[in-house]
Chain A
Amino acid sequence: MKRILAVTTTALVMASALSACGGNSNSNNDASSSPSESASASASASTSEVSSNGSGEKVTINLWAFTDEIPNMEAKFIQTHPDLNVEFKNTVIATTDGAYQPALDQALAAGGKDAPDIYAAESAFVLKYTQGDASSYAANYADLGLTDDLVKEAGIAQYSVDIGTLDGNLKGLGYQATGGSFIYRRSIAKEVFGTDDPATIKDAVGPGWDKFFDAAAKLKEKGYAIVSGDGDIWHPIENSSDKGWIVDGKLHIDPKREQFLDYSKKLTDEGYSNGTQDWQEAWYADMSGSGAKPVFGFFGPAWLINYVMNGQVKDTNGDWAVTEPTTGFFWGGTWVLANKDVTKDEAKAKVVSEFIKWITLDTSDTGLQTYWANGTLKDGEPGTKDSVASSVVMAKSNGTVELLGGQNMFEVFVPANANATGKNLTQYDESINQIWRDQVRSYAAGKKSREDALKDFKQNVKDQLGIESE
């Protein structure tokens, strides 16, 4: 009896010791598990399956995304394509703390049955997957039967095509268009400029930043801030520069981006903004006008209106309007790519091609973009409207939004999308932008000189990314 007890206990102890893998570290102040996991406990991977009841052989598609948007489209896809027998296996990992990219990269590199067949990439890192280090994993749209003619027919915004193209081969397209606009308060516009008409306001704040700052001065006289913080003007400036951060493998500071240093300082020194940092509490507060000074406007695409401001405007709901921005830009967006290996399997290639076509190029009334633009994706439930990649779809959709006092936002976003450019981006943009904005904040707050800010920026980029400056 004792013997059995002894043996069982031994086995249990060995099993528990082996399962609690990793040596003992007796340290006082460090995180107990690997940094990326303890920090993003909420951003854990979730998998789900969606399958259909069509005829024919069942095809399994592995889909990787970082939000629920694409998985939520699958039910509608199956509804509108009853002839296809497909099962979707979704893996959703949020991009918090950069958790999505390493997981996706490993899955692509590993290959095999579980490799992603369709994967999504956000604008912050899409270049890596369409043109950069990981582009060798992506299939050409042409190999899936999605030709350039289809792209032209659908009137896809040019910047989206540019970003998704490598050496003339289209590898990724988005379903949204995230061309930016200037979203402003109607009541403040009436008080300061005499009218809230989008065409007039468009001329008041642009084109060009000189006009923008003239408007800022007018607003300041009446006690309003034109924008919430320097982050608001960064996106238009970033996207409208002639060249990106890296030219011929070296760090290049485009003169238009360098001007951001001066503009940011001007915003702070002259009191044209509330000095907030985007995506922080005070920035959200400015959307309902409850900051230090009421804020006139924000620069942003449709998703800023429908997904961010929607929850934050509170009493100012209906008091907003959109017009074309000081300079054309885009911000954010999701590109959909297919794995090169799907072309080897004919049945899979057909389903993948249908799905991607339905999301990105289908301009019919049963195409995803029509549902997305009109907010009718879920039956019986009014969804959120959003600007889509196809200008053809937007032209025939209803883009009136309550937040904008009933204005049809597509009228502004169709030209806005055309003005955005996708040619000045690099795959390191996320990191370089972070370093750049940190230095600009220091300079705007008066903590260092302009030369030091530029010098430290170059030094930090070299230290942290190994990229030399010109």
Chain B
Amino acid sequence: MRRKGVSYAKYGYIFSLPFILVFLVFSLYPILYTAVIGFTDMKGLIPKPIHIMDNPFQNFKDLLFDNASFQQSLLNTGLLWIINFIPQIILALLLTAWFTNKRLNLKGTGAFKVLLYMPNIITASTIAVLFSTLFAYPMGPVNSLFHALGWSDSPINFLQDKMTARGIVGFIQFWMWYGNTMIVLVAGVLGINPALFEAASIDGANGFQTFFRVTLPSLRTIMLYTLITSMIGGLQMFDIPQLFITPAGGPDNATLTTSVFIYGQAFKGSYMYNKAAAASMIMFVIAAVLSALLFYLMRDRDASKLKKQMKKQKKAAKAAARGA
């Protein structure tokens, strides 16, 4: 009698079951419920009976076209993300290039990686308090420094000026996350076949050329991962804008990001859950569209061309088989 091979497939299902259950109850259901709230008139602290609005898309329309704060928050989120991400990716790529350059062979990269990653570990509230004390007005360390260096004659109110407030929030985010990005990129570079690097050095490529023509193209998947996570994180930027300047939102709504706006709508003031839910759904759609765009831009063009060719060949073969 043939002994059946042991199938471990069922253990796979059993092990994933807890996560799926938890996900369904605690993640999927709230997301669907939030989506539904966006179409109702639910607001106020005391639970009242809720109704679907007469015009289901009323909340969405109001937010996008009439609500100046929400429009401002969309603008701020984009602006803060750009201020944060561009220096972050440049510095991370630069550090990656240096840390993985076999010819440079830097010593103590381990220690550096630890130090550069540290800002990410400090809690956001601590950092917010630290930076708001640093930039305090009229007396604060940075103001005193500028005064001592002669760069300014009277104290500058950093937290009151829109552009400096945004700049500081963007800088804090950059400082917190460039270590993380760098570690991810270094891990990606370590996964590249060393034979490629050897071939490049035999062919006489210098560091510059190696980086741009060998490392970067091979990093395509990792770059996609970094871009997607950074973009989604940027769209959800909350902890620093909420805590850094009180009241949350900054001078004249300069650092009001969409998450801060949603939090304010739902949990402060008038407790307008329907508007907050509608805004959350709008952000969800924006994130989905941008992610799809990124996936499309970063697709492996060679692989998709190959797939198309294979498809054509198969079709031709089928047609030939039928015709013959």
Q: Which residues of A contact B (CB under 8 A)?
A: 10, 13-14, 17-18, 21-23, 26-31, 35-36, 38-39, 41, 98, 102, 105, 109, 128, 133-134, 136, 274-276, 280-282, 285, 291-292, 428, 431, 434, 438-439, 441-442, 445, 447-448, 456, 459-460, 463-467
Q: Whole-angstrom distance from the CB of B87 to the nearest CB of chain A?
A: 14
With A22-B22, A133-B45, A447-B252: A29-B177 Cβ-Cβ less than 8 Å: yes
With A23-B27, A39-B243: A282-B19 Cβ-Cβ less than 8 Å: no
Q: Whole-angstrom distance from the CB of A467 to the nearest CB of chain B?
A: 7
A275 & B252 in contact (Cβ 8 Å cutoff): no
User: Which residues from chain A contact B160 at a C-beta distance below 8 Å?
Assistant: 441-442, 445, 447
Residue of B47, B180, B247 with most chain A CB atoms under a 10 A cut-off: B247
A30 & B233 in contact (Cβ 8 Å cutoff): yes
Q: Is the interface of B mostly helix, strand, loop or mixed?
A: helix
B125 & A41 in contact (Cβ 8 Å cutoff): yes
Residue of A10, A134, A441, A466 with most chain B CB atoms under a 10 A cut-off: A466
Residue of A28, A105, A280 with most chain B CB atoms under a 10 A cut-off: A28
Q: Whole-angstrom distance from the CB of B140 to the nearest CB of chain A?
A: 7
User: Which residues from chain B contact A22 at a C-beta distance below 8 Å?
Assistant: 22, 26-27
User: Which residues from chain A contact B269 at a C-beta distance below 8 Å?
Assistant: 428, 431, 464-465
A134 & B138 in contact (Cβ 8 Å cutoff): no
Q: Tell which of B67-75, B100-108, B202-210 binds the partner.
A: B67-75
Cα(A105)–Cα(B267), bound, Å: 12
A28 & B229 in contact (Cβ 8 Å cutoff): yes
Q: Which residues of B contact A (CB under 8 A)?
A: 14-15, 17-19, 21-23, 26-27, 43-47, 67-70, 84, 123-125, 133, 136-140, 157, 160-162, 173, 176-177, 180, 229-230, 232-234, 236-239, 242-243, 247, 249, 251-253, 259, 263-265, 267-270, 272, 275
Nearest B residue (CB) for A137: B46
Residue of A18, A291, A465, A467 with most chain B CB atoms under a 10 A cut-off: A465
With A27-B233, A428-B270, A463-B69: A438-B238 Cβ-Cβ less than 8 Å: no
Within 8 Å by CB of A465, from B230, B232, B270, lies B270
Cα(A174)–Cα(B186), bound, Å: 62
Cα(A26)–Cα(B229), bound, Å: 7
Cα(A414)–Cα(B110), bound, Å: 68
B67 & A282 in contact (Cβ 8 Å cutoff): no
Cα(A438)–Cα(B227), bound, Å: 35
User: Which residues from chain B contact A439 at a C-beta distance below 8 Å?
Assistant: 252
Closest 3 CB pairs of A and B: A29-B233, A28-B233, A463-B69
B45 & A134 in contact (Cβ 8 Å cutoff): yes
Within 8 Å by CB of A27, from B69, B70, B236, lies B236
Nearest A residue (CB) for B230: A28
User: Which residues from chain A contact B124 at a C-beta distance below 8 Å?
Assistant: 31, 38-39
A28 & B234 in contact (Cβ 8 Å cutoff): yes
B270 & A29 in contact (Cβ 8 Å cutoff): no
With A275-B138, A465-B270, A466-B270: A30-B67 Cβ-Cβ less than 8 Å: no
Q: Whole-angstrom distance from the CB of B295 to the nearest CB of chain A?
A: 15
Q: Whole-angstrom distance from the CB of B243 to the nearest CB of chain A?
A: 6
Q: Whole-angstrom distance from the CB of A229 to the nearest CB of chain B?
A: 10
Q: Whole-angstrom distance from the CB of B227 to the nearest CB of chain A?
A: 10
B123 & A38 in contact (Cβ 8 Å cutoff): yes
User: Which residues from chain B contact A441 at a C-beta distance below 8 Å?
Assistant: 160, 251
Q: Whole-angstrom distance from the CB of A223 to the nearest CB of chain B?
A: 16
Cα(A428)–Cα(B267), bound, Å: 13
Cα(A15)–Cα(B103), bound, Å: 49
Cα(A439)–Cα(B162), bound, Å: 13
User: Which residues from chain B contact A459 at a C-beta distance below 8 Å?
Assistant: 68-69
**23 pairs, A vs B, C-beta closer than 8 Å:** A10-B15, A22-B26, A23-B19, A23-B23, A27-B233, A28-B177, A29-B84, A29-B176, A29-B237, A35-B259, A38-B124, A39-B243, A105-B45, A134-B46, A136-B46, A275-B138, A276-B137, A281-B139, A282-B137, A285-B139, A292-B139, A434-B247, A466-B272
